[in-house]
A and B are shown apart, each in its own frame.
Chain A
Amino acid sequence: GNSVTQMEGPVTLSEEAFLTINCTYTATGYPSLFWYVQYPGEGLQLLLKATKADDKGSNKGFEATYRKETTSFHLEKGSVQVSDSAVYFCALKRRDDKIIFGKGTRLHILP
């Protein structure tokens, strides 16, 4: 079946630290991959996406590369800020439009 697995949180880092949140997926065919961010009390916002293998999505200093050979889409940022504290969701969208989300990773950034 199709699934998305994210690293368990919470992840706590100091400001300016390097961030990696791991995401791996299983899917038939060639899904699109997404990272969404949810700030406290709000809905989800698209952070970045990649629609085919080797594509790199990037936004606000965050990056993720669609790796077909390792079925991964890890989220990285070189220097995190307190304002990056949120819950991050990895997701895939299949060709039949069904969307599967990971369980989310809560990120705390300490000043």
Chain B
Amino acid sequence: DSGVTQTPKHLITATGQRVTLRCSPRSGDLSVYWYQQSLDQGLQFLIQYYNGEERAKGNILERFSAQQFPDLHSELNLSSLELGDSALYFCASSPTTGTGETQYFGPGTRLLVL
């Protein structure tokens, strides 16, 4: 158990809908990262927040957005969903930021768009 929690575990929705994925980092960790894992694209870094501020941006679509709240939990919002958004979404956290920081991954949210 990494100490990172993600809810929900599974989500089934329809095209065009909007969903929110939630992540609680390990106690004391200030950085939160979001990743998308799919069969065709592999593991893609989406976005990182550090202490409430956006820190780094990867391959995140404009239909997706994220935020980190004062209590350090984070939410990833996915809107106008398409079939291709079906994937496993991981959240990870680390104590601070920096190239050598170890990230601790949550168990993931599996999203299925029908």
Contact residues of A with B, CB < 8 Å? Answer: 31-32, 36, 42-46, 49, 51, 89, 93-104
Cβ A96 vs Cβ B56 within 8 A: yes
Contact residues of B with A, CB < 8 Å? Answer: 2, 4, 33, 42-45, 48, 55-58, 90, 92, 97-108
**How many residue-residue contacts, CB under 8 A, span A and B?**
56
Cβ A49 vs Cβ B100 within 8 A: yes
Cβ A94 vs Cβ B99 within 8 A: yes
| Cα separation A94 to B55 with both chains bound (whole Å) | 13
| Cα separation A100 to B4 with both chains bound (whole Å) | 21
Give which listed residue, A32, A43, A99, A104, contacts B106 with CB less than 8 A: A43
Contact partners of B101 in chain A: CB under 8 A: 93
Contact partners of B107 in chain A: CB under 8 A: 42-43
| Cα separation A49 to B94 with both chains bound (whole Å) | 14
Shortest Cβ distance from residue A64 to the other chain B in the assembled complex, whole angstroms: 15
Cβ B45 vs Cβ A101 within 8 A: yes
**Contact (A97, B97) CB under 8 Å given A43-B107, A45-B2, A89-B43:** yes
